[in-house]
Amino acid sequence: MKTINIGLVGFGTIGSGVVKVLQSRRLYLKKKTGLDIKIKWICDKDLKMKRSVKVGKKILTRSIGKVLYDPGIDIVVELVGGIHPAKDIVMEALRQGKHVVTANKALISEFGGEIFRLADELGLSVGFEASVGGGVPIIKALRESFVANRLDVIYGIVNGTSNFILSKMAEEGLSFGDALASAQGLGYAERNSYLDVSGQDSCHKLSILALLGFGISARPSIIYTEGIERIEPVDISFAKELGYALKSLAIAKKDGDALDLRVHPTLIPKSHLLANVNGVYNAIFVKGDLIGEQLFYGEGAGAAPTSSAVISDIISIASHTSGCLKLKKATFSKKEARVVEKIGEIRTKYYMRFSAVDKPGVLARVSGILGKHKISIASVTQKARKAQKIVPIVMMTHEALESDMAAALKEIDALSMMKRKTVRVRVEG
């Protein structure tokens, strides 16, 4: 029986979840894996807070040094979150010869390259399954299972809060604000939901998926990110009539030599499996040249699924003298591909809703401007006029260049017959 000593840093919700499982299933895991996973230290700056799990006082400490400089510790589990001091903890743990397991998507998306380089040099492993998709094993799949593939596409619904809000808006016709309030009431959204609804959280996760799937180190700040705050229920229901669902997608897509990376509200055909992923669930769609199309679906957050992922990393590392499959430098510092940094360079289809006054000639004017900018129309529906005499015109286009679309919309929205800014949502699938 091999004993593995864990030093856990960050004793919050996730930390307590991990401790609870490791304590209550120590024997079960011993039998299954031949490993005795022992928690040697738990470090947190606040030791007085009430936790959902009981631990011996002797293993609790406020001093991070106790964990980092204890030669008996095999794996440091970082569950602090954020960049500071998480980054210093992780780098120092590696320098001290310890493997690292982390659930920290902000850290890995910002400094993954630096961390993996150090780990590779020192022959150590870094596990971060919990950083994307909660308990969904997408990291292991990209790292190990799809290793022989060349991927074309990764599309993901990777933020459960946004997906819950959009599902609620679709099912009950709620406004964004009311759906957000409902999510907060149910505990699916934090009081401060900015990271979730702005798309920032998805952007962090996309950066990690791009690194593993395409070998591209793209810092979150260069990824085009659009939140769901301005989505109106009317667009969700018009989209539905046209056979689409509206989802917030994180998209990584090969575009010739370059990689197209972006996070934004997206229409996807109802027949696509992603369109049927509702509530707080996450799902990640992957297309590769050998595997074809695959989808992973599951709970993307919460203490239990995240603990499951953290423990699977611990056991993967512990069961191999050599740790889990190394991320070789070559896998995260590819030079030949470049990231499409300007959203204007992408080509996609669009949904648009124009709010025009009810006068003849509106459609002729709009389609004239679109044509001038090389945007061709796939379908157009004029909706019933409202009391205010604003006529919603809903249009689907063929593929067009984003910069052309932006120029056309600027011109259209300047027309006096337009009563509101035009809504445009990109279409995939």
Residue 413: CB atoms within 10 Å: 13
Question: Closest distance between a second copy and the C-beta of residue 257, in Å?
Answer: 16
- Cα angle: 52, vertex 55, 57; to 5 degrees: 130
Site membership for a second copy, residue 49 (CB under 8 A): no
Structure tokens at 235: 């667009």
Nearest Cα to Cα of residue 247 among 172, 312, 155, 147: 155
Question: Closest distance between a second copy and the C-beta of residue 222, in Å?
Answer: 24
Nearer to a second copy, 68 or 157 (CB): 157
Report the residue from 331, 355, 397, 422 that binds a second copy according to the rule CB under 8 A. 331
Residue 229: CB atoms within 10 Å: 16
Report the residue from 33, 182, 184, 237 that binds a second copy according to the rule CB under 8 A. 33
- Residues annotated as catalytic are 205
Nearest Cα to Cα of residue 181 among 172, 130, 359: 172
Report the residue from 89, 311, 340, 425 that binds a second copy according to the rule CB under 8 A. 311
Report the residue from 309, 369, 400, 409 that binds a second copy according to the rule CB under 8 A. 309
Site membership for a second copy, residue 391 (CB under 8 A): no
The C-alpha atoms of residue 115 and residue 100 are separated, in whole angstroms, by 10
The C-alpha atoms of residue 24 and residue 194 are separated, in whole angstroms, by 36
* Radius of gyration in angstroms for the set of CA atoms belonging to the chain, rounded to a whole number: 24
Q: Which residue stretch of 55-63, 139-147, 169-177, 192-200 sits at the interface with a second copy (rule: CB under 8 A)?
A: 139-147
Longest Cα pair distance anywhere in the chain, in angstroms? 82
Question: Closest distance between a second copy and the C-beta of residue 129, in Å?
Answer: 7
Question: Closest distance between a second copy and the C-beta of residue 142, in Å?
Answer: 10
212 vs 57, 144, 216, 268, 293, CA distance in Å? Answer: 40, 10, 8, 24, 17
Report the residue from 15, 112, 305, 392 that binds a second copy according to the rule CB under 8 A. 305
Nearer to a second copy, 32 or 421 (CB): 32
Residues that bind a second copy (CB under 8 A): 21, 25, 28-29, 31-34, 129, 134-137, 140-141, 144-150, 215, 273, 276-277, 288-299, 302, 304-305, 307-309, 311-312, 315-316, 319-322, 325-326, 328, 330-331
